[in-house]
Chain A
Amino acid sequence: MVIINIAGLGLILLVIWWFWLYKPEGVVVSSKDSITILVKDGVYQPANIKVAAGKSVEITIYRQDDSGCAANIIFPDFDINEELPLRQNKTITLPPIVSGEYSFHCPMMMYKGRLIVE
């Protein structure tokens, strides 16, 4: 019984670490200043994007997921809210941004991503 309890507790700690404490590295964007995000199977791929500060960035988004939640992408900090047509490229141009971390997500926050600006 003790072992089971310890295992359970360990599982809880694992959940906390994996979902809350772990901070993934951003994907570095090439000097082309453009990146493609795939919307598929409940996640943005990649979900963590790193871009250079003070430069306009083009993000191309391709939605392959037909669930309704995925149909929009929101960058709340830049007042961007774009509809994503199914199985079509949609390009969003982000204005030059100051360094920091910004989030982007679908209207229901099922899909979540981070934009790291350095």
Chain B
Amino acid sequence: MSERLKTTTQELVIDGASCASCVNKIERALKELPNVDNAEMNFALRLVTVTGQTSSDHLINTIEAIGYQAKVVTDTSDGDLLDEKEIAEQKHYKKLIMQMSAGLGLGIPLMIYSLLGGPMTVDTTLERGIWLFVGLLCAAVMFFAGKHFYIGAYKSFINHSANMDTLIALGTGTAWLYSMIVVIFPLALPEMARHVYFEATAMIIGLINLGLALEVKARGRTSEAIKRLIGLQAKTARVVREHNGSKQEIDIAIEQVLLNDIVRIRPGEKIPVDGTVIEGHSSVDESMLTGEPMPVEKSIGDNIVAGTLNKSGSLLFNATRVGKDTALAQIINMVKRAQNSKPPIGRLADIISAYFVPAIMIIAIISALAWLNFGPNPAIAYAVISATTVLIIACPCALGLATPMSVMVGVGKAAEAGVLIRNGEAMQTASKITTMILDKTGTITEGMPKVTDIIIVNDAYSEDYILKLAASLEANSEHPLAQAIVDSAKAQDIELSAVTEFRTIAGLGVEAKYQQQSLAFGNQKLMLTNNVALNNFATQAQHLAEEAKTPMFFTIDNKLAAIIAVSDPIKEDSIAAINRLKGNGIRVVMLTGDNKATAKAVAKKVGISEYFAEVLPEHKSQKVAELQAQGEIVGMTGDGINDAPALALANVGFAIGTGTDVAIESADITLMRGSLHGLADAIAISKATLTNIKQNLFGAFIYNAAGVPFAAGVLYPFFGLLLSPVIAGAAMAFSSLTVVSNANRLRFFKPQEY
């Protein structure tokens, strides 16, 4: 293949050009390249347009060599591609409908004539003349409406392969050729066999085109989910750029947004690229990506994601991920890939379809031979009909469509619910999970400990005062629970004070001095060490622990002042979601690094009977292996970062996200929203999809397994029944339609939430 490049116009976005002189520098460098005709740069847009015969890589290298960054503006965004695809599909559909009309236009009148008992014979010269004319008309229909079948059949034939086209071409060709022989050389055939089948040829071509047209329509609907995701992408962005020495806000195409651009987003606008808020405050609707209906508050320092909707306020943000790197682009990419991947269950159909068409050809020949050898007169006519019908009724399409159609819909459906499935295999395995391991922190619970109870022992102190002292003390500590106390104080706008002589007593707590008072904060062991009398507050503390809370004791001058309980609250809907899992017959196991008492309490609260406490992070994968050794198909749900090895080892790893901040690459299935309902949804959708695939495969197999013998005429010896080739044509057209429609039924699947 020659490497010559055509003269093209390419657009490159330049990064790092900060002054007008850069423009000259870049333009000159590009123009100096051989084969570059012109290079022009639009400074405001940071866009350089190059005409010439040079590859984009070469251009980028040149620009990088003089100290800037550049990237190609891809002129076809996903949205454009999709539009193009739709237009192409629409055109294809119209063409098929035209071809169908031609086929049926000739076929239906002929068929009505034959059904009304009109003679299809060639006894007189007039009849021969009329049928010759009809035969030629039929040939014209074959050419206009069925050309693609014959060309396809021929092309695959010379490539030693065979497909649906081969069967249709052979079937209709046989019927037409036989009829033409009847018309032109009637004497070559026994009198009883002189019967024409032009109506079959025309009808079959019409019906199969109809089937294909309906399939195009139904197929379009299966990609609704991806259309919706692509539709989330904004077309333009308003960026703040320096122009003629002053900062200006300009609207530019989304492809031209650069990393670290400052982007303005107004109320009601779609967020164009991923970024970090640097100014303003607003609530953002992320439901389109996470399935989480509540808008999320965003202010300085928060991350926002492309495709989500800014509701109330105006924001200024720094673009951190643009183009193909945004979370939305990655999601679209992943859904697309997954939609086109095939679960192992589909491989059987693939193997069969590889041998299918030649096998059907052989069956057709055998059937014809059987009729010729054992059939009643006119044997030759029966042989031709049965061979034609066998060829036409066999539908490799239904087999081939069975799996991909359902996967398309299922993966899309999951994406709508905020569940990203990596591929078909993950989906199939997820549908068979017998044991689900849930990590406690961040999966069942929020992952962010909060102060739940403050019990004041000495009424001389107010709650605010206690919290102020405790937080001032804990502000010095690095213990994870300490943060909860500090946060709690901050949330109530309590100002912290400085403490002196702070020290940590490992495993017990902390101590410090505040204005001559000595403060201590820690667990029950610390109280014992310090000989603090707990009286009946020990029982209260015990109660708190049983409620999955961690009680801590606060003393002032070695006297118990308060008990502060901290807990990592269980997510609101964890219990319901775990019940859904159990309702599906899945064994649910909890894993945590926490102490046994808390683990037990949490497990009890959410209704999990099996749990492993005090499991070190590195031992989590061991537990997965242990359960797998028991013959379980294990799903593991965790945050995708700390639990990565366990997720990888599990049969299916589920990474649970908080909002859109997810490591998409880390798991087989990614749950965009934090709720465990996403997990139950993922399994429910996987199951529904697999059931759908099985229905499709069963339908397609049964259809072929039953249709082909009927067509060959196995019923004839018993009932005198032989299928007409026209019925076979209709059946073939509608078999693939049935499969596509059944797959479309999945679109209405709703995971049950309770």
- Residues of chain A within 8 A (CB-CB) of B151 are 41-42
Q: Smallest CB–CB gap between A101 and chain B, Å?
A: 14
B369, A15: Cβ atoms closer than 8 Å: no
The answer to whether A43 and B164 touch (CB under 8 A), given A8-B368, A15-B362, is no
Given contacts A43-B155, A109-B353, contact A35 B362 (CB under 8 A): no
A41 and B341 contact, CB distance less than 8 A? no
* Complex-state Cα separation, A12 to B163, whole angstroms: 17
Q: Quick one: closest B residue to A88, CB to CB?
A: B76
Interface residues of A in 4-21 (CB under 8 A from B): 4-5, 8-9, 11-12, 15-16, 18-20
Within 8 A of A (CB), among B601-648: none
A interface residues, tally (CB under 8 Å): 43
Is B3 a contact partner of A32 (Cβ separation < 8 A)?
Answer: yes
Asked, given contacts A30-B1, A36-B1, A86-B84, whether A108 binds B404 with beta carbons under 8 Å apart, the answer is: yes
Question: B85 an interface residue at 8 Å Cβ cutoff?
Answer: yes
Contacts of B404 in A (CB 8 A): 107-108
Q: Is the CB of B365 within 8 A of A69?
A: no
Are the C-beta atoms of B156 and A43 separated by less than 8 Å? yes
If the complex has contacts A8-B365, A107-B340, are A19 and B1 also in contact, measured as CB distance less than 8 A? Answer: no
How many whole Å from A115's CB to the nearest CB in chain B? 15
Question: B471 within 8 Å of A by Cβ?
Answer: no
**Cβ distance A83 to chain B, nearest Cβ, rounded Å:** 7
A contact residues around B401 at 8 Å (CB): 108
Interface string of B321-344 (1 = CB under 8 A from A): 000000000000000110011100
Interface residue A67 (Cβ < 8 Å from any Cβ of B): yes
Q: Is the interface of A mostly helix, strand, loop or mixed?
A: mixed
**Cβ–Cβ < 8 Å partners of A19 in chain B:** 160-162, 357-358
Q: Per a CB cutoff under 8 Å, which of B1, B156, B157 touches A32?
A: B1
Cross-chain contact B373 with A5 (CB below 8 angstroms): yes
The CA-CA distance from A110 to B162 in the complex, in Å, is 8
State the majority secondary structure of interface residues on B: helix
Chain B: minimal CB distance from A92 (Å):
13
Residues A74-118 near B (CB distance < 8 A): 74, 76, 81, 83, 85-86, 88, 107-110, 112
| Interface bracket on B | 35 or more
Q: Would A42 and B155 be within 8 Å (CB), given that A19-B161, A66-B88 are in contact?
A: yes
A108 in complex: contacting residue of B91, B154, B216, B400, CB < 8 Å: B400
* A35, B358: Cβ atoms closer than 8 Å: no
Report whether A85 and B84 are in contact in the complex, using a CB–CB cutoff of 8 Å: yes
Interface residues of A in 29-72 (CB under 8 A from B): 30, 32, 34-36, 40-43, 45, 47, 66-69, 71-72
Q: Is there an interface contact between A5 and B88, defined as CB atoms closer than 8 Å?
A: no
Chain B residues whose C-beta falls within 8 Å of the C-beta of A32 in the assembled complex: 1, 3
A24 in contact with B160 given A16-B362, A72-B340 (CB within 8 Å): yes
Q: Among A8, A34, A42, A68, which residue has its beta carbon within 8 angstroms of that of B163?
A: A42
Binding site for B on A (CB under 8 A): 1, 4-5, 8-9, 11-12, 15-16, 18-20, 22, 24, 30, 32, 34-36, 40-43, 45, 47, 66-69, 71-72, 74, 76, 81, 83, 85-86, 88, 107-110, 112
Identify 20 new A-B residue pairs, CB closer than 8 A, beyond the known A1-B373, A12-B366. Answer: A5-B373, A16-B362, A19-B358, A35-B1, A36-B1, A41-B152, A41-B154, A42-B155, A42-B163, A45-B159, A66-B89, A66-B92, A67-B212, A68-B92, A83-B340, A85-B85, A86-B84, A86-B85, A107-B340, A112-B161
